[in-house]
Every structure is written in C-alpha cells, then in structure tokens.
Amino acid sequence: MTAKKTAARKDSNWWRGAVIYQIYPRSFQDSTGDGSGDLPGITRRIEHAASLGVDAIWLSPFFKSPMADMGYDVSDYCDVDPIFGTLADFDTLVDKAHGLGLKVMIDQVISHTSDQHPWFKESRTSRDNPRADWYVWADPKPDGTAPNNWLSIFGGPAWEWDGVRRQYYMHNFLTSQPDLNFHCEAVQDALLDTVKFWLDRGVDGFRLDTVNFYFHDRKLRDNPPMEAAHAGGTADAPETNPYSFQHHLHDKTQPENVAFLKRFRALLDKYDARATVGEVGDGYRSLATVAAYTNGGDKLNMCYTFDLLSPNFTAAHIRGCVDAVEKSIKDGWICWAFSNHDVMRHVSRFTQEGDDPARVAKLALSVLAMLRGSICLYQGEELGLAEADLAFEDLRDPYGIRFWPAFKGRDGCRTPMVWEAGQPFAGFSMVKPWLPVPSAHLLLSVDHQNSESGSVLSHYRQVLAFRKAHDVLVDGDIDFVATNQDLLAFTRTKGADTVLFVFNLTREPAEFTVPEKLKGLKAVAFPGFNPSLEGHVLRLGGLDAFCGRI
C-alpha cells in the first residue's frame, strides 16, 4: 500500500481513539454583549481547545430555535439562530478549526422538531395535508384519553391533544417538541437532505441526539412496568422521574432504526473521512443497543451511553462497563465520557468529603484517557469545575424547573466558561450572562491555570499528549488483570507493545503484586502520579495511578 493510501485510510479512521471536546455554544464565549455565547465567540477561543491536544470539537445545537429546550427544539435545520450568529460565522469557525487541525462535529437533533418548525405547522392543519403523517399522530381512546401509557422524559404523558386535528401527537420531551414519524420515508429523505447541507459546508461528523428514539411501535402498545431487577433511576432519567418506572419496549429502540442508520451511513460514505457518534439512552439495554448500531461497519461509527455518567466512580463499576462493552461490541466502537451538558459535572459526582477535588479531576481524566475507545470531554472539566448550585429563580432548564427541588436539572453544568478571573463575568461577557458565573469557579479560570504547572488544565494537556504519544492507547486491546484488592488494573496491548495501568480509586493506600506474565515491567513516567514500584510490588496511595511497560 502506498504512503498516500495509508495516510488516507488513517484519516478516514480519525474518529477511532479520537478525543472530542464538547462545546456548549451558549456558555463558551459571548462576542456581542448580549450575555449569550455565540459562534464568533467560539472562533475567538478555539485555540484553547486546540491547546488541549484534542482531535475534534463537538458543537451543541446552534440552529434556529425558539430555545424552549436551549436549542434542542429546532425550527430550521439549515440555518443558524441569530443569537449564535450567521451561516458565514459558522463557515469562519469551520475554517479556523480546520486550520488548527481540529475536526468539527455538530449536534443533529432529528428525533423531534420544535412545534414552530414549518413541517409541524403544516402537519397540524389537517389530516390530509402533504405532511399530515410527518409526525406521530394518533386518535384518542373512546374515553378521550391518550392512545397509550407512554411518558415524556420531561414529565407527564408523551401525548398532547391538538384541537384542530382532534388527535394526539407524541412528544418524548416537551410538548413543544413533537416527534417526527420515521415510518414515513419522506421524513427520512427530508432529514437526510438537511444532513447533506452541513456535509457540503465541510462538517466532519455528527453527534446524533437520542439516536435510539427515532422510531416508535406502529401498534402503539403500552409499555410494561420496569422489571424489579432494573428498577431505579439512571443518569438520563433519575428515580424522581416516573419515566424510569417503565420498561420502554415500544416508544424507542425499535428494530426499524437499524435500516435508517444504514441510510445515514451510506450518505456519509459519499464524503471523505466523516464520522458519527450516537447518544444512546436505553437504561440497562444501552450496550446491546450500541452493539446493534455500530457492529458491521455500515451504521454508526461509534456511540456513547450513560453508563459512566453515573455517580459510581469505582473499580468494579468501570471494569463492569468496559467488560460488557468488550463482550457485546465485536467490531463496533464505544465513546466514553464522564461529563456532558446533561449530567452533574463529574468532579461533584466523584468527590467525597475530605478529597482534593483537583486530584479527583486529574485521576478521572487519567482513567478515561487510558480506556479502549474514543473519549468525549465537556467544556470546563479541564479546569476541574464543580457543579454550580443555582437558585430556582436562575434556572432556565425546563427539565429542572419541572422536577424541582428533587431534581435541579442541567443548568448547574451549563454555566459560562471562566477565562480571566479579573475580568467582568470571568471574561465570558461584559454583561450579565444568561446563567450566573459561580464565584467558586473564578479561581479555576483558564488564565490562573495556564500559569500553574500542577493545575488540572496542565494535567489534561499532559495526559492527552501521553495518550497521543502511545499508539497502543488509540486502538490497542484491553485486558483486565485480576487483583484481590479494590483496584482497577488492565493492560493495553498492540503487537509487541504492552502497557499496564493500575488505578486506586479508593482513599486508602493499596499494594498490587505484578503478575509473572508481566515480568520485566518497568515504571513509565505517568503525568501527575509517582507511586513506588519495588520488584513486583507496587505501592499506591489513595486516589493514585501507575503506568508500566514491558
């Protein structure tokens, strides 16, 4: 194979083992003085993402929207909402990112639209208009109640009555977010046309929101109760939300979705080096769903689940998640993350009383970056930001407002980036931002941490450079090493190259005996940690890590 063909193949697989940095546009940088972040603001600050050593950025939605769900309610898939800028601003951002060697992925929210989308406005006018079946409409039961027992994640039934059509329409989220009917091929065609619009503008990939929600059961059968063995909330639907009481057999994760994902992939394959990552929220079935959506090389490139977005930062939990992935996903690919825009920041989830939050942040990144798979980082985690504790009157998230105070919603992880501690609102804006800037975040600002060699920000740069410098960490095999202690120990292997990692996620010192099969192991300088290795005995402190190489 020629060098040119080898390079092209490598580029087409850029997503495999990639580090993706998620940007929440409204909270990254305000350039216009309206208190909300925007695309020119991202362009201004994008060198920060490049300085981390990431491979790509993922932009949360910036499309035209009434912003009832902060842009996840799209009213025009092919234009930029004025609060974020213009299409020209987007093109400038893509050019700047590409010039820095960064791929650009955008959020495609195609399971539903805003009720202000022209498609829905037409669909609700009658039962016989050209788009009458573009959304999920159903007649009431004889007593006038909803067609079945399906629930909305954002509270209440998943059905809303429309007086003009005298039917209910389905909404998995807000009543202003009607679900598209993917059983209608014209809907699929129209959505793929919008995807092509962005491909032609040069985007490198798509994060597919709620990718397993596209299809519903044609028969509209009731969901059964959740089995006792799987009862309890998840990261995407906490136990305070009755949505978690149902086994969602019929309102999502339908078999027809696989054929649509093949259509989506066939479109991307007409372009060079494009990629997809799907968000799978499916409770205990998530990993089986990821396997179905990524195996075979003809659907999604990779998916992420909510498994590591839980409060559980233990060796047993992480080992169990990774083991399950390795057993179920044969030729597919996983994307791991500890934080995103939908869950409490992981420093707050993982830190216990008496911990140094910065050390927890460093250890978490060290674990995540050594796992087999691609990884997503969420803006601000590289600073060790904790979850913001907001007052009810400051909330903007409809999910949090609906379930307050048992569940405070997602605004606590969406507060503005802190760039310069001495500037108004930490350099994010010159006016009061759309969400408050917590005072506790100011001392963690980018300018402070840039000047500290031992900062969380410095650690992120060092660990990501370490990952990039070792090819075995991109796509090497992973095998867990048995231990009688509560330690996370595994090897990464590619060819003759074998690297051992041992993580002590507890707060107590621990010893690890290096097995005979790893005889000749030598310690490798691992950013931020320096445990003692004497012969075959490794001594780790609490919240400690080790790397060794044969």
Query: Given the structure tokens 């060794």, which residue do they identify?
Result: 548
Q: In whole angstroms, give the CA distance from residue 545 to residue 88.
A: 46
Q: For residue 234, what pLDDT is reported?
A: 67
pLDDT of residue 507: 97
* Annotated active-site residue in 69, 204, 209, 397: 209
Identify the pLDDT of residue 287.
Answer: 87
pLDDT at 330: 83
pLDDT at 3 over 50: no
pLDDT of residue 35: 98
Please tell me the CATH code under which domain 476-549 is placed.
2.60.40.1180
pLDDT in tens, 359-397: 999 999 999 999 999 999 999 999 999 999 999 999 999
pLDDT at 233 over 70: no
Confidence of residue 410 (pLDDT cuts 50, 70, 90): very high
Which residue in this structure is represented by tokens 């998916």?
A: 303
| 227 carries an active-site annotation | no
pLDDT at 6: 42
**Strands 374-378, 544-549: pairing kind:** unpaired
Pairing, β 56-59 against β 19-23: parallel
Half-sphere exposure of 203 (CA within 13 A, CB side): 22
pLDDT digits (tens, 9 = 90+) for 38-50: 999 999 999 999 9
Residue 428 has pLDDT above 80, yes or no: yes
DSSP state of 108: E
**CA dihedral (289, 292, 293, 297) positive or negative:** positive
Residue 391, C-beta contacts closer than 8 angstroms, at least 6 positions apart = none
Going by pLDDT thresholds of 50, 70 and 90, the confidence category of residue 320 is very high
As a whole number, mean pLDDT of residues 89-103 equals 98
Looking at residue 1, its pLDDT comes to 38
pLDDT value of position 302: 97
* Percent of the residues in the chain that have a pLDDT greater than 90, as a whole number: 91
Q: Is the pLDDT of residue 8 over 60?
A: no
**Interstrand relation of 167-170 and 137-138 (parallel, antiparallel or unpaired):** antiparallel
Residue 236's pLDDT band, with cuts at 50, 70 and 90, is low
Judge whether 209 counts as a catalytic residue: yes
Of 338, 339, 333, 346, the residue nearest 372 (C-alpha): 333
Task: Give the CA distances from residue 194 to residues 78, 127, 466, in Å, rounded to whole numbers and listed in that order.
Answer: 6, 25, 38
pLDDT at 235 over 90: no
Q: What pLDDT is attached to residue 162?
A: 98
Strands (E), 91-144: 103-108, 137-138
pLDDT tens by residue, 237-272: 778 889 999 999 999 999 999 999 999 999 999 999
CATH of domain 15-112+185-467: 3.20.20.80
Residue 237 has a pLDDT of: 74
The residue ranges of DSSP E strands in 242-304, in sequence order, are 275-279, 302-304
Match 């001594």 to its residue by tokens. 539
For 196-225, write each residue's pLDDT tens digit: 999 999 999 999 999 999 999 999 999 999
Q: How distant, in Å, are the alpha carbons of 266, 391, 444 from that of 401?
A: 40, 11, 28
Higher-pLDDT residue of 1 and 139 is 139
CA distances to 152, 239, 340, 349, 395 from 404, rounded to whole Å, are 16, 13, 20, 19, 10
- Boundaries of every domain in the chain: 15-112+185-467, 476-549
Please give the structure tokens belonging to residue 5: 């063909």
**pLDDT, tens digit, for every residue of 56-90?**
999 999 999 999 999 999 999 999 999 999 999 99
* Greater pLDDT, 550 or 102: 102
- Say what the pLDDT of residue 329 is: 87
Region 275-301: mean pLDDT is 94
Catalytic residue from among 55, 115, 279, 387: 279
Q: What confidence tens digit (pLDDT) does each residue in 108-118 have?
A: 999 999 999 99
At which residue do the structure tokens 């503005």 appear? 416
Q: What is the pLDDT of residues 450-505, one digit of tens each?
A: 989 999 999 999 999 999 999 999 999 999 999 878 999 999 999 999 999 999 99
